[in-house]
Structure 1
């Protein structure tokens, strides 16, 4: 039977146990065009971030 050579640290144990509750990303509506987008990301429809145009809109 396999026996661990070293004790598993609390950090390593807890990091492994924390992964069961991962979930899909949440979406918010863009304040400019009201399309769903990821929070803290540039809107792919209008190209705005934080109320300013920063990228070309995907058309």
Structure 2
């Protein structure tokens, strides 16, 4: 037989375990190249620079009339 808890889990133990399940607010820092908000340790989505180097070429959107 099995599947029966031996001891009761207290509210504080359950709460401490569940406290890690929350969503964390993302950190945005200004890009050093263009100043647009970017996540740390990621390249800038606006200009494609990371730590002063061009990592990715960003395609400019052309508006069609």
TM bucket, shorter chain = 0.5 to 0.7
Q: Which whole-Å deviations, capped at 9, do the CAs of 1:18-49 have from their partners, x for residues lacking one? A: 41554211100000000000000000000000
Distance in 2 (alpha carbons) for counterparts of 1:33 and 1:17: 39
> Superposition RMSD on alpha carbons, in Å?
3.0
Question: Which has the greater radius of gyration?
Answer: 2
Scaled by the length of structure 1, the TM-score of the pair is 0.66
Higher RCO structure (Cα 8 Å, ≥6 apart): 1
How many residues are treated as equivalent by the alignment? 54
Scaled by the length of structure 2, the TM-score of the pair is 0.60
2:27 maps to 26
2:17 maps to 16
Task: Name structure 2 gaps, 5 residues minimum.
Answer: 61-65
| Moved >3 Å (runs of 4+) | none
CA contact (8 A) 1:32 1:51 kept: yes
